[in-house]
């Protein structure tokens, strides 16, 4: 029985109702917020599993809210907005979004994207810690520490890093990464993957412009280089 909580932050009543009906019919628990302030309150009190977030809100922007959410929660964030500009999509990913859907949308497609993202929430399945120089990778809690400090990695960054680490020293194609992390075809492109890899490098690499761990294999994909002692 599906019982995940999904928060909709949307000021358009008609779109809110379409989203709500689609999700309720799929047996999700739906929370509604017409503003940034109400959405922020529900994040703290209800702890949703996934958030559908509009960019333009009456009391702020979805980007502002996403940044605040990422300080306290690893809930999945999907922007749902009319803006098709790649710059805005990339800004969304920079503040921690997991996905981006443009309006008008097909309800069945939106539902499929919600389900795909929820299925790819990071499981705890390996009970060990790997130490690599100044990095400590905790497979049980799916966290990474650098110089003893917990890194604030977004959900997609964690999925990318742990997938690459589980296949250390193997070259992983962009298509493989898209399939594992995003899980659907025809939506995510090379640029999206590149942006996520770039932000991940800035967090774990000492010199992001000259990566030691996550290396690019031009024309194919990426590789986590790890020499076991």
> Which of 86-90, 131-135, 136-140 has the weakest average pLDDT?
86-90
pLDDT single digits (tens) 60-100: 999 999 989 988 787 889 999 887 777 777 888 888 888 88
- Cα 136 to Cα 122, 128, 133, 151, distances in angstroms: 18, 10, 8, 10
3-state helix, strand, coil in the chain (%, to 5): 40, 25, 40
pTM, to two decimals: 0.62
Tell me: pLDDT of 197 over 90: yes
CA distances from 74 to 8, 98, 161 (A): 16, 10, 16
Residue 60, H or E segment: strand 60-61
Domains and CATH numbers, the chain: 5-119 (3.40.50.2300), 129-224 (1.10.10.10)
Contacts of 48 (CB under 8 A, 6+ apart): 5, 6, 7, 31, 42, 75
Q: What is the pLDDT of residue 124?
A: 43
């Amino acid at each position: 029985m599906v019982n995940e909580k999904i928060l909709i932050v949307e000021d358009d009543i008609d779109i809110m109702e379409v989203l709500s009906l689609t999700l309720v019919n799929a047996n999700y628990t739906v929370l509604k917020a017409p503003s940034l302030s109400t959405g922020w309150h529900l994040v703290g009190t209800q702890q949703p599993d996934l958030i559908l977030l509009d960019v333009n809100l009456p009391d702020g922007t979805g980007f502002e809210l996403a940044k605040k959410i990422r300080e306290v929660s690893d809930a999945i964030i999907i922007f749902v907005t009319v803006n098709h500009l790649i710059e805005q999509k990339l800004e969304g990913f920079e503040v921690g979004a997991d996905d981006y859907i443009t309006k008008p949308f097909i309800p069945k497609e939106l539902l499929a994207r919600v389900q795909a993202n929820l299925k790819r929430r990071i499981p705890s399945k390996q009970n060990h810690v790997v130490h690599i120089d100044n990095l400590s990778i905790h497979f049980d809690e799916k966290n990474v520490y650098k110089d003893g400090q917990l890194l604030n990695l977004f959900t997609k960054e964690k999925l990318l890093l742990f997938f690459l680490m589980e296949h250390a020293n193997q070259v992983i194609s962009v298509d493989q990464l898209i399939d594992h992390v995003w899980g659907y075809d025809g939506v995510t492109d090379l640029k999206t993957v590149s942006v996520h890899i770039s932000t991940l490098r800035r967090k774990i690499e000492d010199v992001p412009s000259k990566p030691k761990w996550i290396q690019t294999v031009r024309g194919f994909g990426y590789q986590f280089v790890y020499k076991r002692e």
